[in-house]
Amino acid sequence: MGQGLSCRVQDEHGLFTAVQSGDLETVRSVLERDPDLIHQTTVNDRHSALHIAAANGRIEIVSMLLDDRLLNSDSLNRHKQTPLMLAAMHGKISCVQKLIEAGANILMFDSMNGRTCLHYAAFYGHSDCLQTILFAARTSHIAVSWGFSRFVNIRDGKGATPLHLAARQQHPNCVHKLLDSGALVCASTGGYSFPGSTPLHLAARGGSIECIRELLAWGADRHQHDSSGRIPYMVALKHKNGACAALLNPSSAEPLVWPSPLKFISELHQDAKALLERALMEANREREKTIFKGAGHLVPSSSQSDNDGIDDNISEVSEMELCCICFDHVCTIEVQDCGHQMCAQCTLALCCHNKVNPSTPPVCPFCRSKIVRLVAVEVKTANQDLNPKLWKSRMPNCMEESCSIKGLLGVPSFGKARSHGSARISVDTQCIDKT
């Protein structure tokens, strides 16, 4: 993809050397003596000074070239790569931001693989650059004239979307950001890798447990075939990725999937969403432990500790702060405007129930009002005073027969109630919403 910049350049004037090393004063001096040198390019790859500065993260020089000179921010090298593509390739976030501010076109394709700057960020795993490009696409004319969803799922010359590239190159953070932005989890490739491969096929080939977890949690189909008739499980076996194969085995338990009813909640606060996503991943990791144990594999270490959740401090939290549905976890999610609270695990279980109409929001288990907004709540520790009136307002009917807690414990999405009345999320395949 043209990652290395050409070293064999005609640079008698010292401009390119100064740009590459970040010598701003020399660059100014050279251009003051001969302003036409700003249009000079390297011999082999036809990199301009702006290409070299962007690829090396020389933000001062990038700013000077864009602000003080009448330069085209979308100038092309031999492979029709723009400075923005090179900045995204090398993860130079400040240069990516500056180029986009200067009007760089995020919808340009190179001539090697027909890829955009979004493909470059995804392929090389620079999630911050990817996020910046996605934000620019959402807030620019691209979203209006071309469509944001279409941009997220844009294909390169071989039919690969950015999600395909991120999954193949084992970049779970990029996979997550793309899925969260509407990337199609079951899209098939054209000529990239094996034709008909989905992101799950490519993650199985690359051997990334984290990417597979993300894709499965967003509804990737373990039974989908590529053009050779292979499912992801067979791809993982072929490439000797045993742990991945254990998760992808069609006979193993189905993973918990990000519930589609939550997608219809008009206001899902980002902090609340992060708590729900973490709870979903933790529930799936519990399922994985059983799968790995049965397959004889060690449980792979995750990028984040399983013990970094808010519930780790449960012994230090007042008993009154426990979720009154399961009595296992701290209340971290609040329903607005009714103010009732529950833990993220129970919120997920409500939305994973297979009888919930995915086109309408779920309802609060306490007052039966529609859930239109979820926010994260601040956890109060045991040494903090808790207003009894506030606690009473959180669960006004918990001790009354009109409370629907008994009904919730009977919902298939919850496990069997334990001796003290707790209930855990079940991974029963009948209760998982795959839409």
Does residue 397 lie within any of the structural domains?
Answer: no
Stronger pLDDT, 168 or 258, i.e. the higher one: 168
Tabulate helix, strand, coil % of the chain (nearest 5): 45, 5, 50
Residues 172 and 51 in one domain: no
Tally of CB atoms within 10 A around 316: 10
| Distance between CA atoms of residues 215 and 212, nearest Å | 5
Q: Is residue 104 located within the same domain as residue 172? A: no
136 and 207 together in one domain: no
pLDDT value of residue 379:
52
> CB–CB of 82/55 below 8 Å?
no
Torsion from C-alpha of 377, 379, 384, 390, nearest 10 degrees: 40
Strand order through the sheet with 341-342: 267-268, 373-376, 333-336, 341-342
240 and 199 in a single domain? The answer is yes
- For residue 97, give every residue at least 6 positions away whose Cβ sits within 8 Å of its Cβ, in sequence order, or none: 132
Is there a domain that residue 297 lies in?
A: no
How far, in whole angstroms, is CA 374 from its chain's centroid? 20
- DSSP secondary structure of 155-209: --TTS--HHHHHHHTT-HHHHHHHHHTT--TTPPPSSSSSTT--HHHHHHHHT-H
Q: Would you say the pTM of this structure is higher than 0.85?
A: no
Residue 14: strand, helix, or coil: coil
Q: What is the number of other CB atoms lying within 10 angstroms of the CB of residue 370? A: 12
Task: Say how many domains are in the chain.
Answer: 3
Give the pLDDT confidence of 83-98 residue by residue, as tens digits.
999 999 999 999 999 9
Q: CATH number of the domain at 429, please.
A: 3.30.40.10
Statement to judge: residues 184 and 226 lie in one domain: yes
Q: Write the pLDDT tens digit of every residue in 317-372.
A: 444 478 888 888 888 988 888 889 998 888 888 876 554 455 666 788 889 888 88
User: Model confidence over 278-332: pLDDT tens digits?
Assistant: 888 888 888 788 887 766 655 555 544 344 444 444 344 444 478 888 888 888 9
One domain for residues 13 and 118 = yes
Domain boundary among 116, 144, 172: 144
* Position 429 pLDDT exceeds 90: no
What residue numbers bound the domain in which 12 lies?
A: 1-144
Average pLDDT on 206-229 reads 94
Please report, as a single letter, which amino acid is at residue 266: S
- The answer to the question of residue 299 being in a domain is no
Residue 430 lies in a domain: yes
H or E stretch covering 309? none
CATH of the domain at 237: 1.25.40.20
In a domain, residue 346? The reply is yes
What one-character DSSP code corresponds to residue 410? T
Which pLDDT does position 380 carry in this prediction? 53
DSSP states along 218-245: TT--TT---TTS--HHHHHHHTT-HHHH
Residues 185-202: what's their mean pLDDT?
93
Give the mean model confidence (pLDDT) for residues 201-209.
95
- Residue 221: HSE in the Cβ half-sphere, 13 Å Cα cutoff: 13
Quote the CA–CA distance of 10 and 41 in Å, as a whole number. 9
Does residue 283 lie in a domain region? no
* Closest CA relative to residue 285, chosen from 302, 262, 270, 272: 302
